[in-house]
Chain A
């Protein structure tokens, strides 16, 4: 079996998590927010697989990861669809404009 450098995977997980959270916090473009969400998701995905390997339940980890990929795709699709609707309706992709919505 290939040796398993857990610490490297953990660093990658935390790194992706940081990038994703930073994106969500700082970015205002809706498309970029969806991308940040994706990066955040990938960090969770990696964490699932690593957790499966580390706890010896590889099958469980991988099946959870597959389930997550499906859900993640739906999130991305709906997020982008919403972004398209917002752009058509308000003429902008700025998330701050959404806060002023009334009715």
Chain B
């Protein structure tokens, strides 16, 4: 029963993708309706997974000798991420009804989104590393195709290609790790690997641990691979909210969390993870301070918050990291959709041309403010609880320098968040033209996400218990929501963090008085605007890949006779090999 449910929750959105495609671009209403219905059914199915959470393999499909068995496991970690993908996917689809109202080729748009939702759910529910790799690549493809959705815009096309190439670097790391596991254990099963990790040769384990860290850093846009995420902001905003804030970029964090028990004993791995997280969080926060494109600010903030999650895993707080992932998925989707509504209505993403929009769009301002307060980590909202848990985990299990950096980063987060809110909704209008509030479908998604931001932290206790119950290889100490609330409120680091956040706020409030000080930091701002020079690495990767492709394209003559020659040559090679073996 549970096995069929697991299969259904992956296949229903894929069926939906076919159905939307089949409906055809002339029947726009049918396409909107089909996409919403299939996404909703997926969301309901994903919620039905909650009662059947367990550590057992619920479905195994034999896929022949060389692929091993394709298994599906409905444990807490997977089910929770599947629910996030399905519900936020549904809200993004509903939002799209208004957002994509005037666009052509809805079939391509909705099909790719539904294909992505199915692949993302498959990625987190599968227990086979090879299948995980397949789903991983499908999500990368959907991300590329949706970033480049406006394929007549060269910026969108190059952004998509860059995202694809850079995440492929991570994909190669993942595949190498999977093959290494296969070569030792003769199977791709994740559970079996976690069980026998201690018995593996340490050199092999070390390679895999750092290979997976590379994969995670590329997928989750961590330093030094982070520059693809800001470039991915050319995607339609619902896509950004779904793929580049709430789900796909979390796949790297998921990978680290999933394999944490095996890799934690590897010497230097935890320090490397902490370093990646801290450097990403701090650098991205500084870059978020100087960006002027509202979606780029949010992209840098996503990198920064993903840094928090990676950091939490590095210090052993797997639960804190997953809890922060949940909070972040909800409030960042809210912020992106809110920013999308603003940009859609006034027709630009440049914050210098916004300002004073709060009066004309009080609704968007209200929900955006909820998301912004959660991002800044102010009390009662979900971002506050999860960020405090991350910081407490860091104080308990990580190096002190990392904790202090993350604490300061919380202040930076508050600073760039309020700079953004101010530039968009307050101050004086810097643009002309009529402005109206968000239309109905947009409001619906935004309200649901705002309510989620206000309340999702209540589920912390049950969520932790679900993880602890179904993850046999992780050691998690979990408590009820009440206990978590109590510990967070009673701990002095919470108040210290709040003081730092308040400091960040007041820094924005008194920005004029600090002008003398900030003018000294001009050089830092220039460096941040230039991505601290990290762009060259991504640039080098992209250039190498494209240059090689350019050269290899000479072998594709398009001439039938040459292709036949290739076939014959291949045949000869196979024959020679067979004779040589015989």
Contact = CB atoms under 8 A, between A and B. Distances in A.
- Are A and B a genuine interacting pair, yes or no? yes
B152 to A, nearest CB: 14
B558 A24 contact: no
B568 interface: yes
A82 to B, nearest CB: 12
Contacts of B565: 25
B559 interface: yes
Contacts of A100: 558
B558 A25 contact: no
Interface string B558-576: 1111001100100000000
A96 B557 CA distance: 10
Contact of A21 (B557, B559, B560, B568): B568
B561 A98 contact: no
Interface residues of B, number: 8
A26 interface: yes
Nearest to B559: A99
A99 B558 CA distance: 4
B564 A25 contact: yes
A33 B558 contact: no
B327 to A, nearest CB: 47
Interface residues of A, number: 12
Interface in B538-578: 557-561, 564-565, 568
Interface in A3-35: 21, 24-26, 28, 33
Interface string A72-103: 00000000000000000000000110111100
Interface string A22-56: 00111010000100000000000000000000000
Nearest to A24: B564
Contacts of A33: 560
Contacts, number: 24
A95 B568 contact: no
Nearest to A30: B560
Given A21-B568, A25-B568, A95 B561 contact: yes
Among A21, A95, A98, A99, which residue has the most Cβ atoms of chain B within 10 A? Answer: A99
Among B558, B560, B565, B568, which residue has the most Cβ atoms of chain A within 10 A? Answer: B560
A21 B564 contact: yes
B568 A98 contact: no
B442 to A, nearest CB: 37
A28 B558 CA distance: 13
A25 B557 CA distance: 14
B558 A98 contact: yes
Nearest to A37: B564
Given A25-B565, A25-B568, A95 B560 contact: yes
Nearest to B557: A99
Contacts of A101: 558
B127 to A, nearest CB: 37
Among B557, B559, B561, B568, which residue has the most Cβ atoms of chain A within 10 A? Answer: B561
Contacts of A26: 561
A47 B564 CA distance: 21
B572 to A, nearest CB: 10
A24 B557 CA distance: 16
A99 B556 CA distance: 10
Nearest to B560: A95
B560 A99 contact: yes
Nearest to A102: B558
Contacts of A21: 564, 568
A28 B565 CA distance: 13
B575 to A, nearest CB: 11
5 contacts: A28-B561, A95-B560, A98-B558, A99-B557, A100-B558
Interface of B: 557-561, 564-565, 568
Those 8 A-B pairs whose CB atoms lie nearest each other, nearest first: A99-B558, A24-B564, A95-B560, A99-B559, A25-B564, A25-B561, A21-B568, A25-B565
